[in-house]
Copies of this chain bind each other. A is one copy, B any other.
Amino acid sequence: MIPSKQKQIQLVSRPVGMPKDDDFLYKEIEVPQPSKGEILVKTLYLSVDPYMRGRMSDAKSYVEPFALNEPLAGGVVGEVAQSQSEHFKKGDFIVGMLPWQEYSIASEKEIRSISPDPSLLSAHLSVLGLTGLTAYFGLLDIGQPKEGETVVVSGAAGAVGSIVGQIAKIKGARVVGIAGSEEKVHYLKDTLGFDEAINYKETNDMQAALKEACPNGIDVYFENVGGEIGDAAISLLNKHGRVPVCGAISSYNKTEMDLGPRVQSKLIKTSSLMKGFVVNDYNDRFKEGATQLGQWLSEGKLQYEETITEGIDNVTDAFLGLFEGKNLGKQLVKVAEPTK
């Protein structure tokens, strides 16, 4: 039964610093009706991601800012509730970029079908989705780890970082993770097989801790956090070091200027590279990445964790929790069960 009313989450003011509850509005709206060629999607899982903070500001970036008094949007796994399209039928499972609400209208081009395997539904927003692809292309295309090299990843227990470290292990590198709790450190070493892991919250001197964990220096630093952790890792780059720059979560809610040591001299001394990227840079290679990730997953070479918050009423809490590192692996919100 499709209800007539539903909840939608709007951005109603541009956050300054850490977003506050009243930057968001949970609004009751009508459930829309699909026109010809359209699909009504029932939201099962929503993805909340740190990059969304950037879109809440008005600054120019690689994607348009979210509009005020309009719904927020992101990765969604859903179920086709009604279809006016020949390409989708009721009960199909799909993934797409859709608004934060319980039921959405999608065009055929906005969504694609996924396997109905219930155990993998959410994985299309994590290891098999843009998160896994972000790790795959950032590490392999920019980082290019070689056997025996040292790869350091920050945000290592997060959605992207945990996959980055495991791919680096598959490629034969020595992998050191940086994360924010003892639980995460144990997860990285004991479950994911990282060689070393550092709890930055218990570390006064990150450079010294990294030096100890990386006796041969750092060949690849996969950047998810920026700030002083990034400074320390960059300072230890070896000759021909590579830094895929994926995220800088420590800076996303900063209101003052984000100042640190300039990197030019270090880059010259080591002939090192820093390269920012977003996963859409690799649009035309998504199939390659998804195929490889799926194969590693089926071979048991990749493990993934999901932190699943229940209920659409908790979407913004789940989002804000990202900035406190509350999640292990991918943070998702489960909005509804699949229809039996």
Specify which chain B residues have a CB less than 8 angstroms from the CB of A60 in the assembled complex: 269
Q: Does A245 contact B (CB under 8 A)?
A: yes
Q: Are B266 and A262 in contact (CB under 8 A)?
A: no
Partner of A272, one of B54, B223, B248, B276: B276
The complex places the Cα of A276 from the Cα of B231 at a distance, in Å, of 16
The complex places the Cα of A227 from the Cα of B230 at a distance, in Å, of 19
Partner of A248, one of B223, B258, B262, B278: B262
Specify which chain B residues have a CB less than 8 angstroms from the CB of A274 in the assembled complex: 263-264, 267, 273-275
Interface of A (DSSP majority class): mixed
Partner of A267, one of B245, B260, B266: B245
The complex places the Cα of A262 from the Cα of B254 at a distance, in Å, of 12
Q: Are A226 and B273 in contact (CB under 8 A)?
A: no
The complex places the Cα of A245 from the Cα of B265 at a distance, in Å, of 8
Chain A stretch 249-293: residues in CB contact (< 8 A) with chain B: 251, 257-278, 281
Number of A interface residues at 8 Å Cβ cutoff, please give it. Answer: 38
Known: A239-B62, A259-B260. A248 touches B276 (CB 8 A): no
> For residue A242, which residue of chain B has the nearest CB?
B275
Of the listed residues A231, A266, A269, A270, the one surrounded by the most CB atoms of chain B closer than 10 A to its CB is: A269
**A residues touching B (Cβ–Cβ < 8 Å)?**
54, 60-62, 223, 226-227, 230-231, 239, 245-248, 251, 257-278, 281
List 12 interface pairs A-B (beta carbons < 8 Å), by A numbering. Answer: A60-B269, A61-B269, A226-B264, A226-B265, A247-B268, A248-B262, A248-B265, A258-B261, A267-B276, A271-B281, A272-B276, A273-B276
Which 8 A-B residue pairs are closest in the complex by CB-CB distance?
Answer: A267-B276, A248-B264, A268-B276, A226-B264, A260-B262, A273-B275, A245-B267, A61-B269
